[in-house]
Structure 1
Amino acid sequence: MAARMRVKIARTVGAMFVNSDGAVLLGLRSATKRTWPGYWDIIGGHVEDGESLDDALVRESREEVGLVPRRFKLIARFRERRPEIHGDALHHVYAVTSWQGGDPANVCDEHTELKWFSIGEMLLLKNIADAEYPRFARLAVDAVTFKSSGGQRRYP
């Protein structure tokens, strides 16, 4: 009897940085990227083997925009909607409501541009990596207006 191979599902983390105006930071993915080139996406990437989701969120944020999340909350988890194109993955989206490092900077080749978007502006984007991002952004903005640390993690 042939043994069935178990396919490993990739795990990703994404940061929805929310500023004091309730705008969400998105990056325009470089045309050279394999997944979602030329699309506006949240900040993040793959979780490495043995890495926790929280540690991956901090690492990816630092690598891509030079920020270190300090307060964040998991607001969504979903399977890749187009696995035939992008591979199977389980995505984890976090509202990031406090960070260290000042203003975001495009510190790698992942994105060609960074920009803060209101939820209304996000709804108008034709090239957004996931149509659910505006809904997730509403959850992220609500996490900021909540203001207490109940339910949010603080990263050392």
Structure 2
Amino acid sequence: MPNQIARTVSAMLIGPDDKVLLGLRAPTKKVWPSHWHTIGGRVENGESLDNALIREVQEEVGVTPTQFKIIATVRERQPEIFGDAFHSVYAVTSWRGGDPTNVCDEHTELKWFSISEMRLLTNIVDPNYPSLAEIAMGAAFKPAR
């Protein structure tokens, strides 16, 4: 059987101040070490994308997404280094469980970024994240406040 392309989910958590939560991946990680990345990970066999999103966000930042929508699916930018994968990126505009906190060893730091701050990062996994954040912050995805 040929190698299957990995599937991952990424959560672009959008805070009430229109900032995006990113995690600085631990330097010991095999994939994109020491790079700013969205919250997420691999989809397990038999798991839906939505269920994987909820599980990964719970495991990494201790909150449960309650309002989310897929905004893009992108192919791994460096498959020759990190393996081929499809990454499903979600806008997460509401969650329960308080403020997201770093509850695992995936990241050494969590930080909220404005779109302009994201554009200045030289060690961001995907340089298209700021554009995806603009989509995520669009009126169609914002919860009623």
TM range (shorter): over 0.9
Quick one: distance in 2 between partners of 1:68 and 1:146? Answer: 17
C-alpha RMSD of matched pairs (Å) = 1.3
In the other structure, the counterpart of 2:118 is 122
Q: Which of 24, 32, 37 in structure 2 is aligned with 1:36? A: 32
In the other structure, the counterpart of 1:81 is 77
In the other structure, the counterpart of 1:138 is 134
TM-score by structure 2 length?
Answer: 0.95
Q: Which of 83, 98, 121 in structure 1 is aligned with 2:94? A: 98
User: Is the 8 Å Cα contact of residues 95 and 143 (structure 1) preserved in structure 2?
Assistant: no
Structure-to-structure mapping, 1:49-64, within 5 angstroms? 49-64=45-60
- Larger CA Rg, structure 1 vs 2: 1
- Tell me the amino acid that sits aligned with residue 102 of structure 2: N
User: Where do 4+ consecutive residues of structure 1 move more than 2 Å?
Assistant: 143-148
In the other structure, the counterpart of 2:8 is 12
TM-score by structure 1 length?
Answer: 0.89
User: Is the 8 Å Cα contact of residues 71 and 96 (structure 1) preserved in structure 2?
Assistant: yes
Q: CA offsets, 1:76-134, max 9 Å, x none? A: 10111110001000100000000011101100000000000000000000110111100
Quick one: distance in 2 between partners of 1:89 and 1:78? Answer: 8
User: Is the 8 Å Cα contact of residues 75 and 140 (structure 1) preserved in structure 2?
Assistant: yes
Quick one: distance in 2 between partners of 1:93 and 1:39? Answer: 17
Q: Which runs of 5+ in 1 are unaligned?
A: 149-156
Q: 1:129 to 1:143 in 2, by over 3 A?
A: farther
Percent sequence identity is: 62
Size of the alignment, in residue pairs?
A: 144
Q: Which runs of 5+ in 2 are unaligned?
A: none
